[in-house]
Structure 1
């Protein structure tokens, strides 16, 4: 993965994937990936969905919900699969179902 990241350093999908791998045991590195994605997002928060997923995997519930809320508010979340295992750490929180309802009600 590191080789691919060196070859395509600005590929957000690859950066996100690297962050998810790091989130499984390399917290410091995962947080650095989040910073990269935040910088790539800019004002439109285009990477909010992926940032929220990494935070959820890190069991950072408040930050995951914050980024999901920001992504929804800015239209950065285009599709959302509520049954993805990545959401397991936050699924039992009542805010998750409320967020899903908001996402599904967006035209």
Structure 2
């Protein structure tokens, strides 16, 4: 199973840090648009050999579940500096498990 998470706002350095720290696939979106999120997730899915239809369902469900928050983020992005975008992470169950285990070891 694949999981998608929105980390919040960040710049290119923050995206790089998250990718290095988490081992997840991380991208920034500005503007935040479903089409761009789907294209990115499908590209990552192809590289990781994830089931494309299942991945699309996960992204669409996440988008619908967070619709209200996404509208807020879209509005907030308009006031953010140009280099800031909404950062999302995508990973398998194992990727996320390793991420959370490493976070617990650091704490």
Q: TM-score, normalised by structure 2?
A: 0.29
TM-score by length of 1: 0.29
